[in-house]
Amino acid sequence: MKIISYNVNGIRSAISKNWLGWLVQQHADVVCIQETKAHHDQLDLSLIEIAGYPYHYFHSAQKKGYSGVAIFSKTPPDHIEYGCGIPHYDQEGRVLRADFGDLSVMSVYHPSGSSGEERQNFKMNWLSDFQNYIDTLKKQRPKLVICGDYNICHQAIDIHDPKGNAQSSGFLPEERAWIGSFIESGFVDSFRYLNKDPHNYTWWTFRAGARGKNKGWRIDYCMVSKNLESNIEEAEIYPDGVHSDHCGLSVTLDI
């Protein structure tokens, strides 16, 4: 099973940049999307079906043009779970889960704290609550693939300028400690599991030609539960996918 994750920074914008054409070429079985910024009734869903994904599910934010996650699939999931059951997060459309047999695939959009102290506090509360949510979920659904924009770089290798960004939201010590403890709680960073090389990023600011200079951050992950570690076959990042300020990434599991 090949699973792609992609923060599209507005799915309508990405589609206008031939994102669906790119997607067809990747031959993914499941696609996890973040920051859709749209409700399904604002889209021509037939275009998604023509691209090979007859099953498409959206968990959108109540606020129009904001946040939102989606999952596209070539085969029907057994169950779709919308949200995490915490209203002030679910109204922002941040969690969506699809169950395929005993495997659960999640599309998650973690909050950003870059706009100021209030949202940074919101982000830190979310991180604690999300860990508790996953700890509980694992008791029922132990085989998890949690894909998405985590809005955190884990280590210095994951950011172009670790010293200059040491006090930047997304690379704060407490955020890095959280993602380390999240992995230690029973997950594998699938890309780092197979690739230890530097200069692999998934997000670039639109400012100062950062993408052309590859001055990026690796803040998107396909986290795989530890009990699936031996099933990881491939993990890739697709920097040539230029439909957003992020790029896509994938994990392929032998199941």
Q: Which domains does the chain have, with CATH numbers?
A: 2-253 (3.60.10.10)
Q: pLDDT by residue for the chain (255 residues), tens digit each?
A: 999 999 999 999 999 999 999 999 999 999 999 999 999 999 999 999 999 999 999 999 999 999 999 999 999 999 999 999 999 999 999 999 999 999 999 999 999 999 999 999 999 999 999 999 999 999 999 999 999 999 999 999 999 999 999 999 999 999 999 999 999 999 999 999 999 999 999 999 999 999 999 999 999 999 999 999 999 999 999 999 999 999 999 999 999
Specify the DSSP class assigned to residue 147: E
Residue 101, pLDDT score: 98
Residue 252, pLDDT score: 98
Residue 63, pLDDT score: 95
Burial of 113 (0-12, 13-18, 19+ CB in 10 A): buried
Residue 13, pLDDT score: 98
In this structure, what token pair is assigned to residue 196? Answer: 């230890």
Query: Strand, coil or helix: what is 4?
Result: strand
The catalytic residue among 90, 99, 149, 161 is 149
Amino acid in position 75: T
Q: Distances from the Cα of 156 to the Cαs of 48, 72, 101, 162, 251, in angstroms?
A: 37, 33, 37, 5, 22
Query: Strand, coil or helix: what is 117?
Result: helix
- For residues 31 and 72, the answer to whether their CB atoms sit within 8 Å is yes
- For residues 239 and 246, the answer to whether their CB atoms sit within 8 Å is no
The residue whose two tokens read 């439909």 is 243
The residue whose two tokens read 């052309």 is 212
Residue 1, pLDDT score: 98
Residues forming a β-bridge with 182 = none
What does the alpha-carbon distance between residue 239 and residue 214 come to, in Å, rounded to a whole number?
Answer: 9
- For residues 106 and 147, the answer to whether their CB atoms sit within 8 Å is yes
Q: Is the pTM of this model over 0.85?
A: yes
197 is catalytic: no
Residue 103, pLDDT score: 98
Backbone angles phi, psi at 246, to 5 degrees: -100, 170
Specify the DSSP class assigned to residue 62: S
